[in-house]
Amino acid sequence: MIALERDLVAQALLAGVRVEQRNPMLVLASLHLAALRGHPVLAPIYADARHGLITDHVAAADVVVGALNREPELVRSELHRSTQTNEPGRSAVFQAVIALIAQRGYPSINLVDVGTSAGINLHFDRFPSGEGRRESVDAHLS
């Protein structure tokens, strides 16, 4: 993020969109989308990052910023989008971890949600898990 923060191309791309869209996460998401689509430079870097194989983070960031500078259209073409950071699907992770903690005998668990999800992750037990069934951890908690 710091490498992109200082990059003039990334700054110019964000400056060219509506104020409401000027979210640096959108640049990162656009680069990630290009990697997922198989971009020849970005795909290997993102695959290595996903598997914890990057040993030189500065060099990896330089490669990503270099790709952006050579091909700003990778990001420009996606800047009409918006990022979604408060999806309830993330609660599945909480549900599994909290269930495991409860099964190990801890009688209570306190959660504090400090993100932009407006507390939705505090209701992790209200979302389906597994094959669409609802599994409440309440049976394990007193």
Domain segments of the chain as ranges: 2-76, 88-140
CA distance 125 to 96: 10
Write down the pLDDT at residue 72: 94
Q: Of 7, 54, 9, which is closest to residue 46 (Cα–Cα)?
A: 54
Query: Residues of the chain whose pLDDT is less than 70?
Result: 1, 83-95, 112-142
CA distance 27 to 8: 13
Residue % of the chain over a pLDDT of 70: 67
Decide: pTM greater than 0.95.
no
Write down the pLDDT at residue 66: 93
How many residues make up the chain in this entry?
142
